[in-house]
Structure 1
Amino acid sequence: MTLLTDRDVTLRNATAILPDRVVPGATIVVRDGLIEAVECTGAAPADAIDLGGSYCAPGLVDTHSDGLEKERSPRPGVELPLEFALRSFEGRARAAGVTTMFHGVGFANHDRYGRTIDLANEMCRVIDERARSGRAVIDHFVLHRLDARDRDGLAAVERIVADWNGSDLPLVSYEDHTPGQGQYSDRRWLERYVAGTKAMSADEAKRYVDDEAARRDEQLADRDVIVEWCGDRARDGSIRLMCHDPVTGDEVADAVARGVTIAEFPTTVEAAQAAHGLGLSSVCGGPNALRGTSHSGNVSARELIALGLCDVMASDYLPSTLLGAVGALVDDRVCDLATAIGLVTSGPAAAVGLDDRGRLEPGRRADLVVFDLDGRLPTVRAVVAQGGSCTHDPSTPAPLLERTPV
């Protein structure tokens, strides 16, 4: 069932997940699209919506999702219109409790992932138009993924940063997915990935990776130029910078010197410890935390969370894994519920500078998700999503209270 509400709504009998504790029987008051009060005692008004004891948390903030790519091309040879794919994926994200989404857009010409610079520019245009339309039901942003060996990608991101006129900083992540680097420090995992996604034999995949390794060495000078540009722009305050898949403490220290503030998907405990010690926010993958293991042989997100070395969980490619990971972490006693929810709400919001959301506190933006846990398995019961209305123009369309099973 979908209920249209105005910008004022009261929810009662909620199990509210606050930054440091879980409070049953709470009443949450929303006025003008903001949280006015979270009350743990006293009677609720007669017109309040009874949540029946379900959990209520801030709307999830996803700092890295490549899901739009998969929505656009759900199977080989099938490409859907980007405008349609974005609206379709928007619905999936909202149904998973995500109310703020950073879409990963890869600025590279690379046949492994089917990415091109032209496609990246078109994705940015479509995302920006949806975000500014006043009709989006979640908040849309772009994570500009810059291939550290692609000069064409650098030129495109340079133009975006030069023309930027938003109040927030553009979010940029530099990455190197070549054999022997980052996520694929052990190239055998890349060979396995290529064989699976391109229907190659083991020998064909090995030759493919050999060719990529040769190109990697030829592009070393390009990498130096691109990483230096990222550092210059981060230090002069033009961008918010992430480093992708750091492996060693030395890599993290170098990233910090360049102005990086977020370490995305550290692949080892060493890198995560270095990031924590140097004050970076560390991002782990929701699918990794849900499954308990990395798909490419790197450190388990659960290990980093148990060690207190993870600040953010991002969906990577599947939005529903965020609450799925929350349920798994709590059920397996890796951490408590308030901590797990913080990894997908207040942690990511703080990391990317969105201080108006991510906590059930008065004055914060009233993006909310209502859900139940059946053991470790979540079911989303309702979503209150302000879209762009709360921060851009109070006269834009009303939020939705959507009751949809995930």
Structure 2
Amino acid sequence: MTNTLEQPRAWSLPQAPRDYVLGHVRAVLADRILDDARIVVRDGRIVEVGPSRRGTVVDVDGGGLLCVPGLVDVHSDGLERERMPRPGAELSWPFSMMSFEGKLRAAGVTTVFHGASFSDQQAAKDRRSVDAALQMCAAIADWGENGGRLVDHRVLYRLDVRSAAGLAALQGHFEQQVAAGRIGRDVQAVISHEDHTPGIGQYADRTFYEKYMVGMRGMTEDQARAAVDELIRDREDNLGVREESMNWLAGQADTGQVRIFGHDPESAVEIADLARRGGNVAEFPTTEEAAREARTRGMSVVMGGPNILRGGSHSGNVSAAELAGLGLVTALASDYLPSSLLGAAFTLADNATMPLPEAVALITSGPAAAVGLSDRGALAEGQRADLVLISLEHRCPVVRSVLRAH
């Protein structure tokens, strides 16, 4: 018997047309806002951005809404939360992809890099394991190959550099992807290397990690302290794995097939080491020193949107808004909350930290540059026609429509 609920393989989701003219929008360009703008799209690419022309017909009337490029999110952990909204409450990968895609669209995100954590250090109820990472990679590939068109879903490979199991799994996965032609110089992979050992990086003050364990795992304060002591001892035994991981990453960077993110760098020395190993991006630097050294070396600096909205780091590290005000941030990532991207950009503009075009660049062209995607992130000729229309309500940005090229 045929299952009438099944869609044929050729079924496609509603798309923006390949050719159209969008008119009467406030276009947020790289250096200014162009009122009553007209954007001409041909074959999914922008061919003209300019003032509306009297007497010409448009296919879509923007009604004075703000128009920004589709948002590029280079670090999202939201999918793993969508799959397991509560400890032990696992949902299927296809449903999780579909559900989370709706949240991305509502946030104006048209390109997303989902964090797949290659680590064996986290408890299963914290959603992360080598098996879960491989499953996520497979789910993202399947979604793209079988009908997922509303968002460009990609993988941010998160490697715990002290996890032997994580390194082995990622190496095996990479060999398969390179052999299949899914990773190469023309399709670079993005790897973020991280070391969440309490006492360094994000958790330089170990008490924040202890508070995390109390809140997330229901431990008492004494149990959390003992657990952190044990974790530090275990991870000190894995320094050899760390060196092996870093050498492998340096080798991958040399191939030109990979862009390397250094996660939670805390000093100029760490940035220098990242540069020596071919790293491109300082991701969530925890100090001004690290961010400043990264910019001096021409690296992208990515900070978290939630950090901007909260007014500071939840781990007691440097404020993203402070770094943005110093001109040391080139991109924002959602981390775990897609809506934080637009919210953070408009917060920076409202607080007069920077003009709106500069703030919007932090969630469009800046992250696109960080991951080496030169075909998106700006309302300019030749760019992908990934367009987002926005209104302001209660001084908050609200996505009214998303037109994504296909």
Where on the TM-score scale, by shorter chain, does this alignment land: which range? over 0.9
Separation in structure 2 between the aligned mates of residue 36 and residue 241 of structure 1, nearest angstrom: 33
Separation in structure 2 between the aligned mates of residue 49 and residue 88 of structure 1, nearest angstrom: 28
Where 2:23 maps in the other structure, the secondary structure is strand
- 1:341-396 per-residue CA deviation (whole Å, 9 max, x = no partner) reads 0000000111111111101011110001110223541111110123xx3xxxxxxx
Superposition map of 1:223-262 within 5 A: 223-262=242-281
**Residue among 146, 157, 179 paired with 1:144:** 157
Equivalent residue for 1:91? 102
Separation in structure 1 between the aligned mates of residue 325 and residue 107 of structure 2, nearest angstrom: 24
- 1:106-147 per-residue CA deviation (whole Å, 9 max, x = no partner) reads 001133433111111111011011122343211011000000
Separation in structure 2 between the aligned mates of residue 274 and residue 312 of structure 1, nearest angstrom: 16
Q: Does 1:204 align with 2:223?
A: yes
In 1, are the aligned partners of 2:24 and 2:52 still within 8 Å (CA)? no
- The answer to which of 152-161 and 139-148 deviates more is 152-161
Aligned positions, number: 386
Where 1:30 maps in the other structure, the secondary structure is strand
The 1:273/1:54 distance shift into structure 2, 3 A limit, reads same
The 1:127/1:4 distance shift into structure 2, 3 A limit, reads closer
In 2, are the aligned partners of 1:12 and 1:44 still within 8 Å (CA)? no
Equivalent residue for 2:84? 73
TM-score of the two chains, using structure 2 as the length reference: 0.92
Q: Does 1:133 align with 2:146?
A: yes
Alpha-carbon deviation of 1:238? 3.1
Equivalent residue for 2:38? 27
**Residue among 346, 363, 367 paired with 1:344:** 363
Q: Does 1:59 align with 2:81?
A: no
Alpha-carbon deviation of 1:80? 0.2
Where 1:358 maps in the other structure, the secondary structure is coil
**Which amino acid is the alignment partner of residue 29 of structure 1?**
V
Separation in structure 2 between the aligned mates of residue 46 and residue 242 of structure 1, nearest angstrom: 46
Separation in structure 2 between the aligned mates of residue 310 and residue 375 of structure 1, nearest angstrom: 27
Superposition map of 1:296-311 within 5 A: 296-311=315-330
**Which amino acid is the alignment partner of residue 356 of structure 1?**
D
Q: Does 1:184 align with 2:203?
A: yes
Separation in structure 2 between the aligned mates of residue 105 and residue 379 of structure 1, nearest angstrom: 29
Gaps of at least 5 residues in structure 1 are 390-406
- 1:310-337 per-residue CA deviation (whole Å, 9 max, x = no partner) reads 0010000110000011121111111110
Where 2:398 maps in the other structure, the secondary structure is strand
Separation in structure 2 between the aligned mates of residue 95 and residue 264 of structure 1, nearest angstrom: 25
Where 1:104 maps in the other structure, the secondary structure is strand
Equivalent residue for 2:127? 114
**Which amino acid is the alignment partner of residue 203 of structure 1?**
D
In 2, are the aligned partners of 1:331 and 1:375 still within 8 Å (CA)? no
Where 1:80 maps in the other structure, the secondary structure is coil
**Residue among 114, 117, 136 paired with 1:123:** 136
Gaps of at least 5 residues in structure 2 are 1-12
Separation in structure 2 between the aligned mates of residue 44 and residue 75 of structure 1, nearest angstrom: 56
Equivalent residue for 1:220? 239
Alpha-carbon deviation of 1:303? 0.5
Give the root-mean-square deviation of aligned CA atoms.
Answer: 1.5
In 2, are the aligned partners of 1:324 and 1:376 still within 8 Å (CA)? no
Superposition map of 1:1-12 within 5 A: 5-12=16-23
**Residue among 180, 183, 188 paired with 1:169:** 188
- 1:22-46 per-residue CA deviation (whole Å, 9 max, x = no partner) reads 1111011111111121112423643
The 1:49/1:161 distance shift into structure 2, 3 A limit, reads same
Where 1:364 maps in the other structure, the secondary structure is coil
- The answer to which of 141-150 and 39-48 deviates more is 39-48
**Which amino acid is the alignment partner of residue 79 of structure 1?**
E
In 2, are the aligned partners of 1:97 and 1:380 still within 8 Å (CA)? yes
Alpha-carbon deviation of 1:64? 0.3
Identity of aligned residues (%): 48
- 1:227-257 per-residue CA deviation (whole Å, 9 max, x = no partner) reads 1111121123231111100000000001100
In 1, are the aligned partners of 2:16 and 2:403 still within 8 Å (CA)? no
Where 1:309 maps in the other structure, the secondary structure is coil
**Which amino acid is the alignment partner of residue 123 of structure 1?**
M
- The answer to which of 36-45 and 143-152 deviates more is 36-45
TM-score of the two chains, using structure 1 as the length reference: 0.92
- The answer to which of 24-33 and 54-63 deviates more is 24-33
Equivalent residue for 2:7? none
Alpha-carbon deviation of 1:160? 2.5
Separation in structure 1 between the aligned mates of residue 15 and residue 129 of structure 2, nearest angstrom: 40
Separation in structure 1 between the aligned mates of residue 22 and residue 370 of structure 2, nearest angstrom: 29
- The answer to which of 249-258 and 162-171 deviates more is 162-171
In 1, are the aligned partners of 2:16 and 2:404 still within 8 Å (CA)? no
Equivalent residue for 2:169? 156
**Residue among 277, 281, 294 paired with 2:296:** 277
Separation in structure 1 between the aligned mates of residue 256 and residue 37 of structure 2, nearest angstrom: 41
Separation in structure 2 between the aligned mates of residue 349 and residue 5 of structure 1, nearest angstrom: 21
- 1:293-320 per-residue CA deviation (whole Å, 9 max, x = no partner) reads 1111000100010001000100001100
Separation in structure 2 between the aligned mates of residue 368 and residue 151 of structure 1, nearest angstrom: 42
In 2, are the aligned partners of 1:328 and 1:376 still within 8 Å (CA)? no
